[in-house]
Amino acid sequence: MTASAQYAKKNSYYNKTVDGYVITEFGGGEFAITSADIAANLWTDNAAVPLSESEIVDILQNHTGNFKSAGGSSSAFVGATLMKTGQVTSYRTGDDGAFQAGRAVDFFTLENAGPFGTKRFTDELGGQTYSNNIVIDWSTYDSVNGKVLGYKITLLSNAVWATQVSNAQAVSIGSFTSGWRLANINECVNIANLENSTAYNYAPFNLSGTGFAIWTSNTNSRTTTSAYYIQTNPFAVNPAGPKTAAVSGFAVRTFTVTGTTLS
């Protein structure tokens, strides 16, 4: 049995069991690699060289999406690579436009398919009509725990920081009547497309214009009367926003994913 041909599957995770290892695909299929078969040299590389158990584990860690122990708790952790920034124009050798470092094919296309394919952004039904003013960012999909982050597309109306925190929590859209909150710095930066002079001026957000700011939910711990805010054009994270200033904000929500249904 050739290892690389059997389990080079990113859309899966593996468990350590008393008999060896079990690979579980997110679609529901399972495949066992027993310790007895490893000891009998039945698992080989592409050159038919037998693989040791440590080599099998190394391949599992690098070719499946996640690891869980037999009891369900994590005994080894494989984190996600950061997303690409979206910048594709290079201004000198060695910059981010040249390397385009990060996860995904590009800013809008995921490397591995989720419930609705490789589109990074969809609405909650898997399409791209956004009729309910909700966009799901599948780059945040936790397929093991069935969670994904979604944004209210239109910004919250300008308000001082404390009010904006409350306004975000009061958002209710359709059946999604609770669980909304003001986005934090990472959630704001993750969807900033740095190829654009206005970082959120792309579909589905289409936030054009200059001079407006977006609150984050993060307080400046050095000067607690200030909170971090996003400057949109040119894009910047500013730590010195007085909480008494009235600016907009992104409302976000963690959705539960069951098959192709979000709740």
pTM above 0.75, yes or no: no
**How big is the chain, counted in residues?**
263
Give me the residue spans of the domains in the chain: 3-68, 106-263
Q: CATH fold of 106-263, please?
A: Mannose-Binding Protein A; Chain A (3.10.100)
pLDDT tens-digit map of 94-143: 999 999 998 889 999 998 888 999 999 999 999 999 999 999 999 999 98
Q: Which residues contact 238 (CB under 8 A, 6 or more apart)?
A: 213, 228, 229, 230, 231
pLDDT by 10s per residue, the chain, length 263 = 554 434 444 566 677 776 788 777 655 567 788 888 888 888 887 778 888 877 877 777 666 654 433 334 444 445 678 889 999 999 999 999 999 998 889 999 998 888 999 999 999 999 999 999 999 999 999 988 899 999 999 999 999 999 999 999 999 999 999 999 999 999 999 999 999 989 999 999 999 876 689 999 999 999 999 999 999 888 999 999 999 999 999 999 999 999 999 99
CA distance 188 to 164: 15
CA distance 69 to 14: 8
Phi, psi (degrees; rounded to nearest 5) at 163: -65, -40
Contact by Cβ (8 Å): 253, 263? no
Instruction: Report how far apart, in Å, the C-alpha atoms of 117 and of each of 23, 65, 99, 111 are.
Output: 21, 16, 25, 10
CA distance 135 to 202: 13
